[in-house]
Structure 1
Amino acid sequence: MTCAAAAGLALGSATAFAQQEDWPDSFTVGTASQGGTYFTYGSGWANLVANELGISGGGEVTGGPNQNLALVHNGDLAFGMTTMGPAAEALAGDSPIAPGVPLDNACAMFPMYQTPFSITVLEGSGIESISDIPEGAAIGFGPSGSTSDTYFPRMLETLGVEFDRRTGSWSDLAGQLQDGLIDVIAFAAGIPVPAVSQLEVQTDIRIIEFTEEEQAQVMEEFPVAAFEIPADTYQSLDGPARAVSMWNFAIARCDLPESFVYAATKAVMENHDRMMEIHRASRSTVPENYDKNTVMPWHPGAARWFIENGYEIPEDLIK
């Protein structure tokens, strides 16, 4: 080990310095497209962990939760981020990325935040509710294979909306909405969504909320929960907006060294103030939300941190 590397490790935790021989020299966190919350949040916690552990690490643009599960499972990435719906499908071998192949080498690491499903239109579109969306409307659902692209089309079909399906990065879709090339963007991302915040600076937009009946219908059909987008999330909101949401978790390759994942989990869970500087969605990135994982096995290193800090994870839920 070089003196420079030793100095870097010394800046991290004592655990990192004492148990680093079997650690990778660097790591990558799979995020999603630019303009979305995953990219900002994931790149941020990657940098935080890299600084705390004294090794090289960063975020990588990907297709989002489904692709992250596959890349982590295959060993292409050390870490990633996913939502519980895609995780359940992946474990069952129903992932659209790898149909018939259970992606069981991706383990839960720590709770991130809830992903609300919300709809954005231009103020002058005449669309004031989901039922107002005209037949054949061009709707952008985010990157292909993302949580939004996987679930939002099915949700809108359940609610009787007929549409022309479009995909792309959130930034690209925001530009298309502003230019009149699409009619609606159906967002599923942590709030505030950077692309929406940028849109409302540049033009007048409207956030469309679910009615109580629409919310109940979607909750009955899909693995989502009731959610309210707080009024202070966007300038365009006059009050809370009714929505549905799905939990997100950070994931780690199950065969990564226990001490490495323990140290990475510790870095995030014990630096909430720094996580809040990365993205406001981090207000939900707290240990108490560990029980929102009802799907994935826990990585032994992550489970060790939670158990040491008083949270109960049964042995049969640890990989």
Structure 2
Amino acid sequence: MSQNIRVLITAATLSATVLSSNAIASDRADWPQNFTVGTASQGGTYFAYGSGWANYMSENLGISGGAEITGGPVQNMALVHTGDLGFGLTTMGPASEALEGKSPLAPGMKLDNVCAMFPMYQTPFSVTVLTNSGITRIADIPEGARIGFGPAGSTSDTYFPRMMDALGVQYERRNGSWADLGGQLQDGLIDVVAFAAGIPIPAVSQLEVQSDIRIIEFNEDEVTRITAEFPVAPFTIPANTYSSLNADSQAVSMWNFAVAGCDMPEELVYEMTRLTLENNDKMVSIHKAATTSVAENYVHNTVIPWHPGAARWFNENGYTIDVSQIK
């Protein structure tokens, strides 16, 4: 090869590299220097999933990212809407109420600067007691029982008390992080923990190592009554989820989605969606609940408008999101 040809090839390569670098810089020109995702309390699935996801995004996108402990889905909708957080995790029930202006944190205000990114998993609603409590079914919960419903404003705290009311359970309401409530159950300070989180719930896994617990299922009549009144669907907790289960346990569940502020850069959200949905093995290594963090489950979002960046990834990969569904 002659020296002149080598020079031309080198020049062309350098030119292409410069053009590529300029294109990448241009694509990232409006990216934030860092980002934060709103999760929930420690000891719950949101915090484990959100923290791991933020680290994964940060490592692959070259920007600093982390998770923030919050009150959960209700507060996350508000924080993302106001721009205090760029990203958050939420469930369909609280999301629907927030978009309609029915959030308990901002009554009358439509929290609509929130857009969907990708499906996460279903949140089962389940009841846990100490084995020596004598409680084997929901109907056994005594009048005035102290029930921990999770952090104030969380999905569990928003919906589980209403479910208990519908089933005729009379209780004293307690709030706290899942880890704290697990400790209170062990110490006899509360009688029941009404969990709503992706499985396996870290606090339950920790609790069953330290105490003899029983996970109470909903019977068929209770499932029928609850699904008719609330935005939940029947769900089965597999027996292998916890060592305390000897058989599959019947519950109800609500879908979770990751969300972003609608004004977050399209290219950033596109890349985050791509990394999440094209690398499910990595997501499952973060938390087992991510086995359902797959593109096909996008159909379970019937409430939140899609972010343009996320919608672009879905439409490029054989899934249809109509323009009317994009913010």
Q: How does 1:195-234 map to 2 (within 5 A)?
A: 195-234=203-242
Q: How does 1:189-268 map to 2 (within 5 A)?
A: 189-268=197-276
Q: What is the aligned partner in structure 2 of residue 74 from structure 1?
A: 82
Q: 1:93 aligns with which of 101, 107, 121?
A: 101
Q: TM-score, normalized by length of structure 1? A: 0.95
Q: Distance in 2 between matches of 1:311 and 1:30?
A: 27
CA gap 1:37/1:156 in 2 versus in 1, 3 angstroms: same
Is 2:52 aligned against 1:49? no
CA gap 1:230/1:281 in 2 versus in 1, 3 angstroms: same
Equivalent pair of 1:225/1:245 in contact (CA under 8 Å): yes
Equivalent pair of 1:16/1:53 in contact (CA under 8 Å): no
Is 2:306 aligned against 1:298? yes
Q: TM-score, normalized by length of structure 2? A: 0.92
Q: Distance in 2 between matches of 1:308 and 1:239?
A: 41
Q: Distance in 1 between matches of 2:134 and 2:165?
A: 21
Q: What is the aligned partner in structure 1 of residue 121 from structure 2?
A: 113
Q: What is the aligned partner in structure 2 of residue 145 from structure 1?
A: 153
1:40 CA displacement: 0.1
Q: Deviations over 1:205-246 (max 9, x none)?
A: 000000000000000000000000000000000010000000
Is 2:71 aligned against 1:63? yes
Q: Distance in 1 between matches of 2:137 and 2:294?
A: 34
Q: Deviations over 1:155-199 (max 9, x none)?
A: 010000000000000000000000000000000000000000000
Q: Distance in 1 between matches of 2:25 and 2:53?
A: 20
Structure 1 gap ranges (5+): 1-13
- Asked which structure has the greater CA Rg, the reply is 2
Structure 2 gap ranges (5+): 1-21
Q: What is the aligned partner in structure 2 of residue 5 from structure 1?
A: none
How many residues get paired? 306
Q: Distance in 1 between matches of 2:70 and 2:240?
A: 29
1:123 CA displacement: 0.6
1:138 CA displacement: 0.0
1:267 CA displacement: 1.3
Q: Distance in 2 between matches of 1:163 and 1:246?
A: 23
Q: 1:36 aligns with which of 29, 32, 44?
A: 44
1:15 CA displacement: 8.6
1:79 CA displacement: 0.4
CA RMSD of superposed structures (Å): 1.1
Equivalent pair of 1:30/1:62 in contact (CA under 8 Å): yes
Q: What percentage of residue pairs aligned between the two structures are identical? A: 68
